[in-house]
């Protein structure tokens, strides 16, 4: 076990329900196939629909420029 791993395993996360929409978190978790706690954190960050959450965690390809637009990129293939 690495040094950092032991420290991480001994920590407890407390994620409160105060501003989290439980129904939205459940929908996000089911739609994206992610853990409920992850969906809950996404809701706490303001992502309320599976589409919004998916855009954030999967970072759709149109967010990234085409790497072959870089100078001489085709030469490096």
Q: Which domain holds residue 18?
A: 3-61
| pLDDT score at 12 | 74
Query: What pLDDT sits at residue 19?
Result: 59
Q: Does residue 14 lie in a domain region?
A: yes
Establish if 41 belongs to a structural domain.
Answer: yes
pLDDT number for residue 18: 63
Whether 69 is in a domain gets the answer no
Whether 31 is in a domain gets the answer yes
User: Which of 18, 15, 21, 29 is CA-nearest to residue 46?
Assistant: 21
- 47, part of any domain: yes
45 is a domain residue: yes
Asked, for residue 21, whether it belongs to a domain, the answer is yes
Residue 74: inside a domain, yes or no? no
| CA separation for the pair 66, 42 (Å, rounded) | 28
pLDDT at 3: 53
For 14-70, how does the pLDDT look when each residue is reduced to its tens digit (9 = 90+)?
Answer: 776 665 689 999 999 999 999 999 999 999 899 999 999 998 887 766 677 888 888
Give the global pTM: 0.59
Report whether 25 contacts 43 (CB < 8 A): yes
- Domains contained in the chain, number: 1
> At 75, is the pLDDT very low, low, confident or very high (cuts 50, 70, 90)?
confident
Q: How far apart are CA 32 and CA 25, in angstroms?
A: 11
């Amino acid at each position: 076990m690495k040094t950092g791993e032991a420290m991480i395993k001994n920590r407890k996360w407390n994620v409160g329900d105060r501003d989290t929409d439980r129904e939205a978190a459940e929908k996000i978790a089911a739609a994206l196939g992610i853990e409920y706690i992850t969906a809950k954190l996404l809701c706490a960050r303001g992502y309320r629909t599976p589409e919004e959450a998916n855009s954030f965690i999967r970072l759709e390809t149109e967010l990234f420029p085409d790497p072959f637009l870089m100078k001489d990129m085709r030469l490096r293939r």
